Amino acid sequence: MEDGDRRWFYGGGVHTWKATAEETGGAFLLFEDQMEQGKTTPLHRHPESDETMYVLDGEILVHMDGEDHQVAAGGLAVAPRGVPHAFLVLSERARLLCLHTPGCAQAFYLGASEPISPDGPATGPVDFARIRVSGERHGGIEILGPPPFDHS
């Protein structure tokens, strides 16, 4: 699954875009997300799209509407539009397929990521402030608060 534009996402991780909103007539955005252990998202919601996460490898902890659920390889988590959620990578590495339906969240992801050059490193700083700004500027996401996970 290496085909597609690769981007460093400022929330941590490498996105490989599989199908863009332009390619699907706006129906969906599909990307693979490769992340390291401890990567977490702030508590957020997508007001205009449903987010479906299929775990290809590894394990994540998904906080969905106030409850935590462990999702391992082969598992699926669905965050309906407007429902607060976050996730935390539990395994050493994790790979997810992320599907946004419809594809209206694409402008947010473009604003919150940078292209990775073929010879450049697939890493960068985590910058939740840039994610918040991209959401405010482009829509697609609302940041509700810090990650809801107890790291003790």
List, in sequence order, the alpha helices (H) in 87-150: 106-111, 128-138
Distance separating alpha carbons of residues 116 and 39, to the nearest angstrom? 19
Report whether pLDDT(1) > 50: no
- With beta carbons less than 8 A apart as the criterion, state whether 118 and 7 touch: no
Task: List, for residues 29-45, the tens digit of each pLDDT value.
Answer: 999 999 999 999 999 99
Query: Domain spans of the chain?
Result: 28-142
Tokens read off for 102:
């419809």
Per-residue model confidence (pLDDT) at position 65? 84
pLDDT digits (tens, 9 = 90+) for 55-102: 999 999 999 988 999 999 999 999 999 999 999 999 999 999 999 999
Tens digits of residue pLDDT in 15-24: 999 999 999 9
pLDDT on residue 125: 82
Per DSSP, 124 falls in state: -
Topology of the domain comprising 28-142: Jelly Rolls (2.60.120)
CB neighbour class for 24 (10 Å; exposed up to 12, middle 13-18, buried from 19): middle
Burial of 76 (0-12, 13-18, 19+ CB in 10 A): exposed
Reported in sequence order, the residue ranges of 22-121 that DSSP labels E, i.e. its strands, are 29-36, 43-45, 50-57, 59-64, 67-72, 76-79, 85-89, 93-101, 113-115
User: 151, 111, 142: which is closest to 43 by C-alpha?
Assistant: 142
Supply the pTM of this predicted model. Answer: 0.92
